[in-house]
Amino acid sequence: QVQLQESGPGLVKPAETLSLTCTVSGGSISSSYWYWIRQPPGKGLEWIGYIYFRGGTDYNPSLKSRLTISLDTSKSQFSLRLSSVTAADTAVYYCGRGDYDRVDTWGQGNLVTVSS
């Protein structure tokens, strides 16, 4: 059974870059779509983007200019980089696995706070 675990700093300063990594265990990273989704405090789920197993990406248009998602198959990891962060980027960040339109496996989430 595939399991996902997010890792990264819990605090990022405004204007800096938020970086998170998701480690995949119990299955192959060489298939499926690999997601990043976030939930700001008190709000709903927001799709950030995903990377296909072949390396192609789709990003949320509202975040596209600041966003990079990458895949490292040798480490069974995929990563998120979000630049020029503001307080509005404070959220629980989830990684996930699924198909192009759904997430069937989720990580536990990593709270990231943007504050000086």
102 binds other proteins (CB under 8 A): yes
Question: If binding is defined by CB under 8 A, does position 104 make contact with other proteins?
Answer: yes
H, E, C per residue of 18-79? EEEEEEEECCCCCCCEEEEEEECCCCCCEEEEEEECCCCEEECCCCHHHEEEEEEHHHCEEE
Residues 61-80: x where in contact with other proteins by CB under 8 A, - otherwise, as a string: x-------------------
**Residue found under tokens 């799709």:** 47
**At its nearest, how many Å lie between other proteins and the CB of residue 41?**
11
Per CB under 8 A, residues contacting other proteins are 35, 44-47, 50, 58, 60-61, 94, 98-109
